[in-house]
Amino acid sequence: MGNYTVVVIDFETTGLSPNMGDRTIEVGAVLVSNNQIIDRFQSLMNPGMRISGFIESFTGINNKMLSSAPSISEVMGNLKTFIADHQLVAHNASFDLRFLDAEFNRINHKRKNEFACSMLSSRRIYPDAPNCKLETLVRFKKLKTDGTHHRALADAEMTAHLWMRLIEDIKETHGLKNVPFKLMQNLSKIPKNKVSEILMKARESAHSSNRAN
């Protein structure tokens, strides 16, 4: 495995918290299968409110661009189709999932997709990285990038390359043939000092099932 399909997703938003009235303004998502990006989804969204100067300069998305963009509900309907029942990945997933769930809730849809977080995984697998910001990890691991940051599709693509690299590095460093999604989720949930133990158990269990076969 490691060849299973995931959707890597990233949102640009008006702020940090949907509970405080913040909305999504752009989504980028990529479908990753067999260790490559095989499909892409991107759209701006009109949040129905003016965005701050900070967000305009942070993202490069301005109020004029959003005034002619489709409504959030229209884009969410299309996003729902794109992600289907795939497992989800995001960098600092708790952030993107909060917005995804809040916007899905507004179109009366409830997410059932499981998710994993590339930031939490990176904290465990790359303890020597200067920090675990997406931009830093892309530089640290020399991942593919066109230099664009804080735009949804560019960030989703970089996160996808980070995700694929994480799986490759775990395979290589810990002698695993496969890195199931469940193992990536577990890595994100366990304490840092349990990482080696969990990966060793995964390898032992893979070896014993190989012997059984």
Partner DNA sequence: TGCCAGGCCCTCTTTAGGGCCTT
| Footprint on this chain of DNA (rule: CB under 7 A) | 10-13, 15-17, 19-20, 55, 58-59, 91-92, 94-95, 98, 119-120, 123-124, 131-135, 150, 155, 188-189, 191-192
Contact at 8 Å (CB) between 38 and 32? yes
**Residue placing its CB nearer to DNA in the complex, 197 or 204:** 197
Closest distance of CB 198 from DNA, Å: 12
Q: State which amino acid sits at residue 140.
A: F
Which C-beta is closer to DNA: that of 11 or that of 181? 11
In DSSP terms, 42 is beta-bridged to: 28
Which CB, 155 or 157, lies closer to DNA?
155
154 with 145: CB under 8 angstroms?
Answer: yes
Smallest distance from the beta carbon of 28 to DNA, in angstroms? 9
Nearer to DNA (CB atom), residue 10 or residue 103: 10
Cβ at position 54, least distance to DNA in Å: 7
Q: C-beta of 15: minimal distance to DNA in Å?
A: 5
In the complex, what is the shortest distance from the CB of residue 164 to DNA, in angstroms, rounded to a whole number?
A: 17
Residue nearer to DNA on the CB measure, 95 or 181: 95
